[in-house]
Copies of this chain bind each other. A is one copy, B any other.
Amino acid sequence: MIIVMSSSNRDDVNHVVTRVEELGYKAHVIYGVERTVVAAVGDERGKERLTSLEALPYVEQVIRVLKPFKLAGREVKKEDTVVTCGGTKIGGGHFCVMAGPCSVESEEQMFGTARAVKDAGANVLRGGAFKPRTSPYSFQGMELEGLRILRKAGKTFEIPIITEATTPEQVPVVAQYADMIQIGARNMQNYGLLRAAGKAQKPVLLKRGMMCTINEFLMSAEYILSEGNPNVVLCERGIRTFETETRNTLDIQAVPVIKLHSHLPVIVDPSHAAGRWDIVIPMACAAVAAGADGIIVEVHEHPELALSDGQQSLRPSKFGKLMETILPLLNVMGKVSG
C-alpha cells in the first residue's frame, strides 16, 4: 500500500513507519516536494488494518496497489476456467445459452417453454422456484413444487437446469434438484449464502449486484472459491444508474475487464439489464461480440400473462430469432455452442 502523509514531520512519519512494520510490512519513505509518501511493501490482501491508518490526522490517504482477490485472479491461474453444467461447457471457447421463464408457474408453462428453448438450441433451462421479490405481496415462487417441475422438464427435454437459491438452507435442496445453482444480484454480498454455495458440489452462477463494482464482484466469487468450489460462472446483468429508459445499464465493458483480471467464465443477462424485451436481441449480439462465454435470457410463451418479468421476456418465436442472429456472430468469434 501507499500511505500519503498530510504532514512531513519526522515524528509523524516515524509513527506511521512503526505501525506499518508492526503489521509485518517493510516501509519505504519518500520525501517529496509537496507530500511525503510511505510505501508499505508486502502482501496487503485481507489486511484492512492498514486502511485504519487513515484515522491518524497526519495521514491523508491509504492507497491500495494490489487487487484484493487471489483465487479468482489470473495471477494464480493463467488459463481460462471451463465450467461444466450437466454436460454443457461454459468458457474456454464454449458459448452457453441459458433460457427459460423468470418463474416456474405451472407444469404446462414450464414444459411448453422447455420444449421451445430446447428446439431453438438453448443449452441450459432456467426457471425460478424461490423468488426474491421486492414486495412481500408479490408472487414468491412455487418453491419445492417448482423445483420438481423444473427437474421434470429438464429430464423430459434432456437439458440441464439452473435455478436460484436465496438462503443458505436452500442451497442443498437446490443442489440436489438442479445442475447449477444461481445466486441472484440482490444476494451477491449475502456471505452466508456464498459460503454455502462454496460448499455445494454443483457449479454456481453468480450474478453481479446492481450496485457492486467489478472488484467486489470478484471478491464475492472469492468467497465461493475459497470454500473449495472452483466452478463459478460470473454473470453481468446490468448496474444501477440514472438512466430510466432501461431497468439497469448493461456494463458490457465488464466482460473484457473481468477477463483481464480473472480466469472465470463470464456470461451476460440482457433480459434483466434491459427490463424490456425489445432490445434483448441486439444486446445478446453485443455480448457475443464483447467476448462473453454465454447469455441467460428470459423466455415465456405468453409474456403478457407472466406472473413476473413479462415485460422483459421473449416469446419463443423471438427467442428463435435471437438464436439465428447470434449463430453467425459466434462463428466469427470462433466460439462453439455449449
Task: Point out residues on A near B: beta carbons under 8 Å.
Answer: 2, 4, 19, 28, 30-35, 37, 39, 41-43, 45-46, 48-49, 51-56, 62-63, 65-66, 68, 70, 132-139, 166-169, 186-187, 189-192, 209-216, 219, 222-223, 226, 239-246, 249-257, 260, 273-274, 276-279, 282-283, 285-291, 300, 303-311, 313, 328-329, 332
Contact = CB atoms under 8 A, between A and B. Distances in A.
Contacts of A305: 49, 52
A306 to B, nearest CB: 5
A274 to B, nearest CB: 6
Contacts of A311: 51-55, 62
B304 A53 contact: yes
Contacts of A273: 253
A7 to B, nearest CB: 13
Contacts of A283: 252-253, 256, 290
B65 A306 contact: no
A260 B213 CA distance: 28
Contacts of A304: 19, 52-53, 55-56
Contact of A290 (B242, B254, B286, B303): B286
Given A51-B310, A138-B48, A191-B132, A257 B279 contact: yes
Contact of A136 (B66, B134, B222, B282): B222
B54 A276 contact: yes
A68 B211 CA distance: 22
B303 A279 contact: no
B63 A2 contact: yes
Contact of A251 (B19, B243, B257): B243
A34 B45 CA distance: 11
6 contacts: A2-B37, A48-B139, A136-B219, A213-B245, A256-B282, A283-B290
Contacts of A255: 282
Nearest to A250: B253
